[in-house]
Chains A and B, each alone.
Chain A
Amino acid sequence: MKGKLNARDLFDHEIPKLLPEKPEVAKRINAVVGIELTGEDGGYWTLDLTENLVVERGRTKEPKCTIIAHTDDFEALLAGGSVRDLLQAFKEKRLQTSGHLPTILKLEGLLTSYSKMAS
């Protein structure tokens, strides 16, 4: 993936490709996580980061936690890779969550590292 980070590419192609290459990062999370992106190019992805390491479109499993954001915000935050910006987005509710927040914080590390590897 070159150029602007694209969430759809990230979850449809890049992360599924990278998961088997870096399984130890994903397995530290050891949970099913939902990604719900709104707006153009949005969608819902289920990341099973337990034993299977699978990314699927749609809510295919019950997530332990879910990240909810507008696609544009989500892409900008991941591309920026700034923890401070992520915190500010969460405080301002541009980045919403439901479920187990500690797991989402662990996921942040994975998404940041995978998006860097993919870009």
Chain B
Amino acid sequence: MGTDFAGTNLRDLIAFQTEAVSSHYDLPPQFFAGFLGPRMAYSCAYFTDESNSLAEAEENKLLLTAKKLDLKEGDLLLDIGCGWGSFMFYAAEKIGCRTVGITPAKEQAAFVNGVAEKRGLAGKVTAEVRHVYDMDYPQAYFDKIVTIGAIEHMDDLHRVFAKCAPILKDDGLMLVHGMTRPWKDREKELQGITTEAGELVKEHFGVGYWKSLWEVMEALEKNDFEILDHENITRHYQLTTERWFESLQDNEKEFAGKVVSEEKYREFMVFMAGYSIGFETSHTLCSQILCRKIQSGDIRPALPLTRQDMIVSTYKE
């Protein structure tokens, strides 16, 4: 599946990416629920200790992300690539935020809105079927923006962040959480040197663009964001995928040939095993980048002097 879109019409690109991404994420939610943690966060969890369960690590990650974003009651949060809404529900239920999520996958959006309805959160948690390039919100609309595990599906981060900056309030915060790869590997890909395994991973996810960390940071800086904090959480993703893999393996009888085809189940087994090796062997990396809008000459906000407020050291219920 080619991912070179030079000269491609934007509407065609959006249509292609929407269909490709949906092929992965619109598998039955009960399949993902069977190996993800109880929050159904399909992204790196956060381990304060290697003995943390996946459920504990999921909570840690949500808490960590909320702390970094300094989420407050009443904040209007945009979640780009909201998945099954783990962070939206956390922000709405634990902190009292109003949340809007976008995803190109119809089943995901329907799942989020259905759960929101059941939990009495309709109006506080809303998922829209929307491609990131089609975001159309008023200027300075959101207090906070988050994107967790979604930049891997975005071909042009400059275009994405250029759309984020105007809709974020001047004193807002944005957190970008995503996978990257070492520059030397990325450089080879840019030169047209790809690996069969790399292409298979992209096909598994429908579409994928693993960039290097500096490319993500460059796209942020060139689109009026100042990077406030960066945390490398690669080891956490290795532990996360190891636990996902174990759950997949343990639930073979429930999944294979029932919720998904036996071939699809075995495909997920291989890729989940492969992801954990990818993190273990430094082929794939993961980061959280916190940023704010910046304009030279602006008076700087009184940001915390230390990282103390964005540390999650022990899991607490």
Contacts and interface: CB of A to CB of B under 8 A. Distances in A.
Interface residues of B, number: 17
A102 B245 CA distance: 9
A101 B269 contact: yes
A101 B200 contact: no
Interface stretch (B135-143, B175-183, B270-278, B308-316): B270-278
For chain A, give the interface size range: 10 to 19
A101 B245 contact: yes
B249 interface: yes
Given A83-B200, A84-B196, A101-B269, A106 B277 contact: yes
B267 A91 contact: yes
A92 B200 contact: no
A87 B200 CA distance: 9
Contact of B249 (A87, A101, A104, A105): A101
Given A83-B195, A84-B196, A102-B277, 11 more contacts: A82-B196, A83-B197, A83-B200, A87-B200, A87-B267, A90-B270, A91-B263, A101-B269, A102-B242, A102-B274, A105-B270
Interface of B: 195-197, 200, 242, 245, 249, 263, 266-267, 269-270, 273-274, 276-277, 281
27 contacts: A28-B281, A82-B196, A83-B195, A83-B196, A83-B200, A84-B200, A87-B200, A87-B267, A87-B270, A90-B266, A90-B270, A91-B263, A91-B266, A91-B267, A91-B270, A92-B263, A93-B266, A101-B249, A101-B269, A101-B273, A102-B273, A102-B274, A102-B276, A105-B270, A105-B273, A105-B277, A106-B277
